[in-house]
Structure 1
Amino acid sequence: MPTIDYYFATLSPYCYLAGTRLEEVAAKHGATINYKPFDIIAAFGRTGGTAPADRHPARIEYRAQELPRQAKKLGMPFNLKPAHWPTNGAPAAYAFIAAQEAGGGDLGALAHAITRACWAEQKDIAEDAVIKACLREAGFDPALADSGLLVGAETYARNLEEAVEAGAFGAPFYVVGSERFWGQDRIEDVDLHLQGKL
């Protein structure tokens, strides 16, 4: 059974645009997804990237065109400048890790609910109420937002180290064996790879 290591960031608009397409590809191939939420801003600093606010104007302008284009192409609601961004993505990541440990719900739906809350619903994913609503929507106990903070912090930090070691420098980032795929627009390539065509 193939395994996909999925490095994602709760604050990433591109992870939001990925929707649940990776989960559909994994189901098609009987693949397991290892969800690894990590600190994307710290990863930029470790892998030669630049935080969005510090990028050259040309890159900022391109991002401002490309994100709405991709959202339109995918038929997804999208706010280029959400009311609560940047915010602290760690609490949502810790809750995700707690849900991962507890089991019983849909992790793909949870990842999408968290990113959608930020990029389509104008909600602050650092707020307890927002995180609990996302947990509930994905079939998890909302109380998980209040538990496992130490384990969440440790796993979050470890995921960053694993991401850097695996060669992940952005999000979403998918690793299948020795093959690496960067970006929501590469999910089709993950599918083709699992078919043995790439």
Structure 2
Amino acid sequence: MSAVNVQFLFDFGSPNAYLSHKVIPSIETRQGVRFEYVPILLGGLFKLTGNRSPVETTAHIENKRRYMMLEIQRFVEKHGLAAYRMNPHFPVNTLQLMRGAVAAQQEGTEGMFERYVDRMFAHMWEDGLKLDDSQVLRATLEADGFDAARFETAMGEASVKGALLANTQAAYERGAFGAPTFFVGEEIFFGKDRLRDVEEEIARVKAST
């Protein structure tokens, strides 16, 4: 793998983060890089920046809402992401989910973080689960073969809470205002529609080193 530093700042509550997650592997293969997944809390980032979700900002702009849905559908069709479904419980509070992602990282078991991320994205944007319901989350973790009790304990640990807050604060200080956000080195890109630009920047950096 190349030494190019590429980061993907994500929150499970973002459908566009899910869509990006599904496309990232093809970029990694083409470019010989590995994206570093960085869990952040989107609600916290919104508070820091004064930003709001597109659902809120476009609530009274019917044409824009329709276009946003059309744009997602085009992306889905382009990349063959037929499993995507809008979560019927949206918006879902992702605080515990994102703490779980940090806990999986800190656990250090090979492949655990990657599997947790992939499963939670799928449960949110393919299965349409209400993952801010503690009983649903516990059942989901157990069904996926995770130690649900261990995760629940870890989600309340100071090191996990602190790391998620630190990731979110660092994202803000680097210029992020939403998810998905990407960094190639210190170059920032926002949104799934910038993945082509992300890949071009990766190629540029590789060519210059």
Fold-level match, TM-score > 0.5?
Answer: yes
Distance 1:46 1:194 in 2: 29
Partner residue in 1 for 2:166? 158
Which residue matches 1:146?
152
Q: Output the CA distance in 2 between the equivalents of 1:48 and 1:113.
A: 30
The one-letter code matched in structure 2 to 1:88 is N
Match status 1:35 vs 2:37: yes
Q: Is the alpha carbon distance of 1:61 and 1:29 closer, same or farther for their aligned partners in structure 2, counting shifts above 3 Å? A: closer
Cα offsets for 1:14-57 (capped at 9, x unmatched): 01111343244346555454322222233234335322342133
Q: Which residue of 2 aligns with 1:87?
A: 92
4+ runs deviating over 6 angstroms: none
Alignment partner, residue 197 of structure 2: 189
Q: Residues 85-164 of structure 1 correspond to what in structure 2 (within 5 A)?
A: 85-103=90-108, 104-105=110-111, 107-128=113-134, 129-130=136-137, 133=140, 137=144, 141-149=147-155, 150=157, 151-164=159-172
Q: Deviations over 1:148-195 (max 9, x none)?
A: 222222111111111111111221111121211212232333222222
How far apart, CA to CA, are the structure 1 residues paired with 2:27 and 2:146? 23
Residue 5 of structure 1 corresponds to 7
Shift of 1:68: 2.6
Aligned residue in 1 for 2:179: 171
Larger radius of gyration: 2
Return the TM-score normalized by structure 2. Answer: 0.78
Deviation at 1:141, TM superposition (A): 4.7
**Aligned AA (1:93):** M
TM-score normalized by the length of structure 1:
0.81
Q: Structure 1 147/30 Cα, relative in aligned 2: closer, same or farther at 3 Å?
A: farther
Shift of 1:87: 1.8
- Cα RMSD over matched residues? 2.8
Runs (5+) with no aligned partner, structure 1: none
